[in-house]
Structure 1
Amino acid sequence: MRLLIMGAPGAGKGTQAVGIAEHYGIPAISTGDIFRANVRQGTELGRRVSAIMAAGDYVPDELTERIVADRLDRDDAAAGWLLDGFPRTLHQVEALEKYLADHSVGLDAVICLDVDPEDLIVRLLGRAEVEGRADDDEGTIRHRMDVYLESTRPLLDAYEGRGLLVRVDGNGTVEEVGARIVAAVDAFVA
């Protein structure tokens, strides 16, 4: 199973990705987690992306694409994966399509978590408080929402046009949303 999970910042992608991946026996791959781990470890990549992330901007396409391709080439991803946080631009969509074509595989579905933007701002502010995430102050959150609307939202239209988009209501408990996702994906790929 090869899946993408998409939605605005704070929609619950990371939380749901873990459960979905476990359900289907595939790794959940989060570009945000990869970047944050590198920042914490002080790696060269971490130094490069730290300022970009702190400003609420996206890491450049080419760098992100190289990191994702490297991760998808690992043995644990041979039978499938769930990508969280990639692709975020049409350039990245094209890079992923080329990667899939080069490996003679395709996407099974693109999950989109739909949540009201104002609810997301409240969620993200709460998460920032609990997790101490410097990239989640209100100004940065609003900027990330603007970047999402400008850059990422068109991807949903692209995947919908390809017949791959599965929209799921992202409101409710983690368990309720997770059950909705699995039911929707199972019905979609059946």
Structure 2
Amino acid sequence: MTEPVGVQVGRICPQCEREDSVPLRWGLPGSEDQRLAERGLVALGGCVLLPDEPVLASRSCGLEWGREGDPTADEQALADLLRVQYADVVRALGTGWRREDAAVDDGMQWFVSGEPAQVAVGVDGVGFVLARPQTSWDGGRTDCQPTNGSRFGRDDLLWSPDVIAEVAEAIATRRRRSFRWCRTCRRAHAPESFVGAVGSCRSCASAFADVEV
């Protein structure tokens, strides 16, 4: 698995409260580590990795902080809205949640997971719904399609996490089946951001195939 580089989205430094932290790499640095550190894409720790060493370093204030498995700001916000611990969210819904701005005010606070987005959860004052996300090609949410029987409450999340996980994975599986591979950037894209006539995503079609999108 490729190690993360660059500013980590959603990781808010507890000291300076800025989203400007990069991965902190431990151990004897290689030439690639040094090159990335010079570009500010990673920070270098000590040569010896001890248990519970921090995994992030703030470029703004220099604080070394964070642990593997810590929630992002959006993931913690989702847990707070659901009135559960983050570990409860992971058991039922998995990780990788990020907040989405709704195209219309439907009374829900929406979060999506996966890249491209594969499953959405909308939270209101009563409970939450699981839905299939549908985003526009520039990343803005245009619609979410709730699945029949996909409304749950806090007790469901706490006591029936396997049921929720099964519904979420079914939604994600159907969503993934619709993805298309761009022959230019060789990445998977949602169908609404794909131009079938040229076999490319909208960004590549606009940049390289002279297609207006």
Shorter-chain-normalised TM-score: which range?
under 0.3
TM-score by length of 1: 0.27
RCO comparison, higher one (Cα < 8 Å, 6+): 1
Q: Which has the higher strand share?
A: 2
Kindly indicate which of the two structures has a greater share of residues assigned to helix: 1
